[in-house]
Structure 1
Amino acid sequence: MNNKGFTTRLVHADRVLNQPENGAVHQPRTNSVLFEYKQVEDLVDIFQGRVAGHAYSRQSSPSIDALQNMLAQMEEGIGALTFATGMAAITTTLLTLLQSGDHIIISQFVFGNTNSFANTLQRFGIEVTMVDVTEVENVANAIQPNTKAVFVETIANPATQIADLQGIGELCQQRSLVYIVDNTMTPAFLFKAKNVGASLIVSSLTKYVAGHGHVLGGAVVDTGLFDWTSFTGILPELRKLPVQAQALTQIKKKGLRDMGGCLTADSAHAISVGMETLALRMERTCNNAIELAAFLNGHDKVEHVYYPGLASHPQHQRAREQFKMFGGILSLDLKPGLDCFKFINHLELVLNATHLGDTRTLAIPVAHTIFYEMGAETRARMGIGDNMIRFSIGIEDCVDIIADFAQALEQI
């Protein structure tokens, strides 16, 4: 199946990769928490890592393995782990690989909860430097002797800054740094993070991968590119494992097992079914977004449109080179004096809700909601104005989306 197209591989992945019993096309949901073995020696072998198998569903189950296989194939990685949410994937990965005295460089444009978690890392004695990742020189200048990793997002939410993903990847390779790329905004159909040297790919499966706003989930994928023998954070008892298995095993044992942020079988099944239409949904979403951005960019009541597909975007050329399409996130500032609340309230088709990657178009005033706790100074550093509105563009008919924006703008 590796020589087939993206959607063909995803549609048939459950059946081909996982081979469900009794001719089932989808991997059945395995809701059992425990797994019986007739010989106690078999259970002992699983606990001690001599053979693969399931002992307790907090760490693994057939349903979870099936989704992890699909994600690893989609990202062309050597293995994947799934979590209850995208934030669980991020927090578990960083807390299990980093330790007190380590240093990590994080994009200053990251999602609000990731930014908040950066403060939590510092409470545990892990040093954090937030930098503008649109220029690789800023990352290079922030490297310290104790730097262990660099964490970036592909397209920032909500102001759509685009990291120098290729340049940072080359820098991390030169300096033997773990390169962690959050690929939530540009899932594998749009961008192959492995191609820029990502060591680990994290994502919120809740968003575009599942796609329908009905299930939470997160994942981390090991691309196989990083040499974990050079990483001092691997526990001594795991050094006996094959090098490529060490990081994911540590995240699994110290994260999923000890911290417990595991995905349920029902959620895994819903995500795997949603994945099948990922490319179809993303293509429609991105086409809608670029048309809407062009309409808004020429409107006399709109001050600024933030969308990488516009030639005026500061990283437009980089977006053209790095991504297949420009994504589904679009933000705008209205002209001074116009009320962003009134505009949102006049929208009829668009939902006022906090989420992104849904099949429906969504709107939210970011400074007053999801980025409120950060404070004005941090928001300003991220390029977020007080009246910025973020939109997650859905798959509705584009003419209807534009008509809704037009009538709402007319009323303010």
Structure 2
Amino acid sequence: MKDTGFTTNILHADRHFGAEHGAIHKPIHTSVQYGFERVEDLIGVFQGTIKGGYNYARQGTPTTAALEAKITQMEQGLGTVSFATGMAAITAVFLTLLKAGDHLVASRFVFGNTNSLFGTLADLGIQVTTVDATQASNVAAAIQPNTRMVFVETIANPGTQIPDLAAIGKLCVDHRLLYVVDNTITSPLLFRPSTVGAGLVVNSLTKTIAGHGTALGGAVTDTGLFDWQAYPNIFASYRQGDARHWGLQQIRKKGLRDMGGTLSSEHAHKISVGAETLALRVAQSSATALTLARFLEGHPAVNRVHYPMLESHPQHALAKAHFSAGSWLLSFELRDVAACLAFINRLRLPVIATGLGDTRTLIIPVAPTIFWEAGAQVRADMGIADGLIRLSVGLEDSADLLSDFEQALGQTKA
């Protein structure tokens, strides 16, 4: 279905790839074990000489495989491995492809739990250097002889900083480094990291792709652009057959089978169904987010608004060049920092909750919650002000959200 559109491809993927008994949706396969008529076939699945077979559900089921095929299609990649969460996916990339003595260059502006994971990597002997990736020159300056990988997010959570995606991609090609891009906030609808040379793409399926706050999931997609033959950390047992599949094979075996962060068939099914409305949801939430960002930027009680499609955003030109819309994430700061919590409590529609990419608008004060553990110095380095408020804009009517924010701000000192 290469000649059809993004949503059409998702809607008809199950039938295209083959669903049992003429089902419109791929059925939910809950079996843990999978039997074979011939023991040679079971051996072939274990050794990888037979593709598409199943032996034990920790490494996947027909239901998770159907979702993986959809994600691969969305990212126009070579293949995908799904995980129980986005953090499981990121962890699998780092722990299966890096080893003690290696060096990782990463954006300083990343999700709080990813930043916490960097500390774990350092404890395991993997050196991590975080830089301001909005300038590719900072990435270049951090590269060492033992550097193996560069990691960035397309739009940083919560500060919305955007790395110099294309320039970093060229840098990785020149230095033969694996370029890993977390595409969670933008999703493959708004941006495909393969266009800037990414070798691996990470998506937290929980958020934009599933979109309803009812299922956890993550995925790693190989774009087919990276030369795994030149990568020193591929185990000898996986250096067989088509070299294009070596990286993903190692991630599935070491990151999924050995670490056990398996996506359930039930959640895979929910994510797959949620993805059908991805384009509709992102169009609505992006339009509302931009309208709300402009309203907030013009309000006297608001000190600063962070949203990529605002002309005032430091990386607005990059956002316009790479993304077809701004997505649902925006953050802002009140002039009166002390009024932050009272303001949030006055809002009627946004749900005071962590999480992102839901159909409902979610709101949270960043410093005392999701970035509290990081500490004041890390928050300062990441540009997270004490009064920063994060919004994940949902599908409510924009007029209703504007009215709610207007009444709550009306009682806030300018």
**Scaled by the length of structure 2, what TM-score is found?**
0.98
Match of 1:99 in 2: 99
Whether the 8 Å CA contact 2:337–2:386 is kept in 1: the answer is no
State the one-letter code of the partner of 1:146: N
Match of 1:46 in 2: 45
Q: Is 1:233 aligned to 2:196, yes or no?
A: no
Match of 2:80 in 1: 80
Q: Residue deviations 1:286-305, cap 9 Å, x none? A: 00000001111110110111
* Matches for 1:238-277 after TM superposition, within 5 Å: 238-277=238-277
Match of 1:21 in 2: 20
4+ long deviations beyond 4 Å: none
Q: Residue deviations 1:332-380, cap 9 Å, x none? A: 1101355110000000011100011111111000000000001111101
* Matches for 1:303-318 after TM superposition, within 5 Å: 303-318=303-318
Any idea what SS the aligned residue of 1:249 has? helix
Deviation larger for 131-140 or 306-315: 306-315
Q: Residue deviations 1:268-292, cap 9 Å, x none? A: 0000000011010000000000000
In 2, the alpha carbon distance for the partners of 1:313 and 1:167 equals 19
Any idea what SS the aligned residue of 2:130 has? strand
Match of 1:114 in 2: 114
How far is 1:241 from its partner?
A: 2.6
Q: Residue deviations 1:84-116, cap 9 Å, x none? A: 000000001110011111000011001000000
Any idea what SS the aligned residue of 1:400 has? helix
Deviation larger for 241-250 or 145-154: 241-250
In 2, the alpha carbon distance for the partners of 1:310 and 1:325 equals 11
How big is the alpha-carbon RMSD for the aligned residues of Structure 1 and Structure 2? 0.8
Match of 2:12 in 1: 12
Deviation larger for 341-350 or 240-249: 240-249
Match of 2:333 in 1: 333
In 1, the alpha carbon distance for the partners of 2:346 and 2:13 equals 43
Any idea what SS the aligned residue of 1:364 has? strand
Any idea what SS the aligned residue of 1:330 has? strand
In 2, the alpha carbon distance for the partners of 1:337 and 1:366 equals 12
In 2, the alpha carbon distance for the partners of 1:316 and 1:64 equals 37
Match of 1:65 in 2: 65
In 1, the alpha carbon distance for the partners of 2:95 and 2:76 equals 25
Match of 1:33 in 2: 32
In 1, the alpha carbon distance for the partners of 2:85 and 2:368 equals 24
**Scaled by the length of structure 1, what TM-score is found?**
0.99
Match of 2:356 in 1: 356
State the one-letter code of the partner of 1:221: T
State the one-letter code of the partner of 2:26: Q
In 2, the alpha carbon distance for the partners of 1:14 and 1:174 equals 39
Match of 1:377 in 2: 377
Structure-2 change in CA distance of 1:110 and 1:337 (3 Å): closer
State the one-letter code of the partner of 2:37: K
Q: Is 1:346 aligned to 2:361, yes or no?
A: no
State the one-letter code of the partner of 2:389: I
In 1, the alpha carbon distance for the partners of 2:337 and 2:352 equals 21
How far is 1:250 from its partner?
A: 0.5
In 2, the alpha carbon distance for the partners of 1:30 and 1:383 equals 45
How far is 1:258 from its partner?
A: 0.6
Any idea what SS the aligned residue of 2:187 has? coil
- Report sequence identity in percent: 54
* Matches for 1:260-299 after TM superposition, within 5 Å: 260-299=260-299
Any idea what SS the aligned residue of 1:226 has? coil
Match of 2:400 in 1: 400
Any idea what SS the aligned residue of 2:201 has? strand
How far is 1:392 from its partner?
A: 0.5
In 1, the alpha carbon distance for the partners of 2:184 and 2:64 equals 20
Q: Is 1:386 aligned to 2:386, yes or no?
A: yes
Q: Residue deviations 1:158-184, cap 9 Å, x none? A: 111111001000100111000000000
Match of 1:365 in 2: 365
How far is 1:222 from its partner?
A: 0.1
State the one-letter code of the partner of 2:46: F
Whether the 8 Å CA contact 2:337–2:387 is kept in 1: the answer is no
State the one-letter code of the partner of 1:28: P
Q: Is 1:206 aligned to 2:206, yes or no?
A: yes
In 2, the alpha carbon distance for the partners of 1:302 and 1:256 equals 45
Match of 1:191 in 2: 191
State the one-letter code of the partner of 1:56: Y
Any idea what SS the aligned residue of 2:179 has? strand
Any idea what SS the aligned residue of 2:367 has? helix
Any idea what SS the aligned residue of 2:9 has? helix
In 2, the alpha carbon distance for the partners of 1:7 and 1:43 equals 36
